[in-house]
Amino acid sequence: MEEWIEKAVRNPNARITGAVYLFYFLTAIPAQFLLGGRLAAYGNATNLIATAFYVILTLLFYGMFKPVNRILSLIAALFSLAGSVVMTLGQFHVIPLSMSPMLFFGPYCLLIGYLILRSTFLPRFLGVFMALAGMGWLAFLSPTAAHALTLYIEVLGIFAEASLMLWLMVMGVNVQRWREQSSAA
């Protein structure tokens, strides 16, 4: 671990990605609290802002992981964008309530986890966390499992995504390894 930290070079793009991730968290969490109370209109507006940050984050991740596997990075981005659309349309009751955005965000986190594991520029434990979070988000597709495990799944998902966000903001990516993987692709 110390060797990784010593060799990690801060990448402005990775730090920007981490900052966008932070802005997503800073808007998505309050949106959930606002939606639960009498301030639903503010919650909807805040949720739209959070979704916009997540779309930007998706595009940044696509660029970051394109050298690892261009096709899987594109598929992950498409899952995330589809989940963002479903979430936004569901917010305005344009789609049936039975369609969960987790159908898209679960595979997205799984793919991001896999891309991190295959990358040489981020630590593998972040990939494991993200893959576990993706499996957790997919559990929301089963009402029985989701009801029994909601708190644990949410804690796991927030922990995984917050870990990735903090790593990107503080450590960035190993730029040399990213460039090597980029030139090999």
Task: Provide CB contacts within 8 A for 145, sequence distance 6+.
Answer: 139
Whole-number Å distance between alpha carbons of 169 and 1: 17
Mean pLDDT of 3-14: 54
What single-letter DSSP state applies at residue 122? S
What single-letter DSSP state applies at residue 142? S
Mean pLDDT of 110-123: 96
Residues 172, 25, 15, CA angle at the centre, nearest 5°? 15
Q: Please report which residue ranges of the chain form alpha helices under DSSP H.
A: 2-7, 12-36, 40-65, 70-91, 102-118, 124-139, 143-170, 175-184
Whole-number Å distance between alpha carbons of 175 and 148: 42
Whole-number Å distance between alpha carbons of 53 and 87: 13
pLDDT at 79: 97
| Sign for the pseudo-dihedral over CA of 86, 89, 95, 96 | positive
91 vs 116, more confident: 116
Residue with tokens 């402005």: 12
Whole-number Å distance between alpha carbons of 61 and 183: 18
Q: pLDDT at residue 11 above 60?
A: no
* 133-152 per-position pLDDT tens digit: 999 888 877 777 667 777 88
Task: Provide CB contacts within 8 A for 175, sequence distance 6+.
Answer: 9, 11, 121
For 109, half-sphere exposure in the C-beta direction (CA atoms, 13 angstrom radius) is 27
Note the residue count of the chain: 185
pLDDT at 59: 94
Q: pLDDT at residue 170 above 90?
A: yes
Mean pLDDT of 113-132: 96
185 vs 152, more confident: 152
Residue with tokens 């903090």: 166
